[in-house]
């Protein structure tokens, strides 16, 4: 089963476009072990999500033990739900091949985020894993994204639009998607028009201030699918008390239902 197949199965089974980011921050977590925390959140939300997205940085910061906990977290996710390894990798030659192998073989994630700044040869080793998903950074959700991504050529084509166009050309295996922040809805609208069939990984809803309704309206495809709306802190840290898992479930269910309600309004 390819990543896209797995995503659509999970999304339709759970009636969900919600992705929960498994980004544990010891300063925000309740007083439990990291693996206990992750397992409890997964148990509480696995019938409400289309995917999970651990950000590798939170685990790498903990050293070898953090990577061991990441591996165990990935293994704990139900097999029918895809895991997106968020590492934003991007390098050339043997290094790119090693990054791709580390994510797709060693860690066993179903998809990965990658940085296109070094061009096609830096992404080709990832794309060659035809059953895996590759999410190329296109229009990211952070304020500084405009420093480069909004720059235009003499024809008025912005860098993020050039990235989207290249992604279409590289998508020979149908396994490429784009990262597009909910904080830039107009740009998202343009990208979805350019890439009507691609899955979009959409961060920026919640703590970063992105509008959920706009993300649904402009991020989904013609069938109201292929948008992966990622939320982390709003779900993970709904409570610091003993009820953290129950609170995470309530937050996730509320978000999923709001997303579904928005789909009904815009379709």
Q: Would residue 166 show up in a list of annotated catalytic residues for this protein?
A: no
pTM for the model stands at 0.96
- Give the rounded percent of residues in the chain with a pLDDT score beyond 70: 99
- Any idea what the CATH number is for the domain that residue 162 is in? 3.20.20.70
Query: Are the beta carbons of 50 and 14 closer than 8 angstroms?
Result: yes
Per the structure, the complete domain to which residue 128 belongs is given by 3-266
Our count of domains for the chain comes to 1
Catalytic residue among 88, 101, 189, 258: 88
3-state helix, strand, coil in the chain (%, to 5): 50, 15, 35
Residue 207 has pLDDT above 80, yes or no: no
182-200 pLDDT, tens digit per residue, is 999 999 999 999 999 999 9
Mean pLDDT of 149-174: 95
47-79 pLDDT, tens digit per residue, is 999 999 999 999 999 999 999 999 999 999 999
DSSP letter string over 51-78?
Answer: EE--BHHHHHTTTHHHHHHHHHHHHHS-
CA dist., res. 127 & res. 129, Å (int): 5
What would the two tokens of residue 263 be?
């789909």
Mean pLDDT of 1-20: 97
- Give the rounded percent of residues in the chain with a pLDDT score beyond 90: 92
77-109 pLDDT, tens digit per residue, is 999 999 999 999 999 999 999 999 999 999 999
Phi, psi (5° rounding) for residue 206? 100, -115
Residue 154 has pLDDT above 90, yes or no: no
């Amino acid at each position: 089963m390819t990543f896209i197949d797995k995503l659509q199965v999970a999304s339709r089974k759970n009636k969900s476009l919600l992705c929960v980011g498994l980004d544990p921050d010891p300063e925000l977590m309740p007083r439990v072990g990291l693996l206990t925390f992750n397992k409890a959140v997964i148990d509480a939300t696995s019938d409400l999500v289309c995917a999970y997205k651990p950000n590798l940085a939170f685990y790498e910061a903990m050293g070898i033990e953090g990577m061991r906990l990441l591996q165990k977290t990935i293994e704990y996710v139900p097999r029918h739900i895809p895991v997106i390894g968020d590492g934003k990798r991007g390098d050339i030659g043997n290094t790119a091949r090693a990054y791709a192998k580390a994510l797709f073989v060693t860690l066993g994630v179903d998809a990965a985020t990658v940085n296109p700044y070094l061009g096609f040869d830096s992404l080709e080793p990832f794309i060659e894993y035809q059953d895996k998903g590759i999410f190329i950074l296109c229009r990211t959700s952070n304020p500084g994204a405009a420093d480069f991504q909004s720059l235009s050529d003499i024809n008025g084509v912005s860098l993020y639009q050039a990235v989207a166009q290249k992604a279409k050309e590289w998508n020979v295996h149908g396994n490429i998607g784009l990262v597009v922040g909910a904080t830039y809805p107009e740009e998202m609208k343009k990208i979805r028009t350019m890439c009507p069939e691609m899955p979009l990984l959409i961060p920026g809803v919640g703590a970063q201030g992105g509008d959920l309704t706009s993300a649904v309206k402009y991020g989904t495809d013609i069938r109201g699918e292929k948008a992966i709306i990622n939320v982390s802190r709003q779900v993970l840290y709904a409570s610091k008390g003993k009820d953290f898992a129950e609170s995470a479930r309530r937050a996730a269910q509320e978000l999923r239902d709001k997303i579904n309600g928005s789909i009904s309004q815009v379709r």
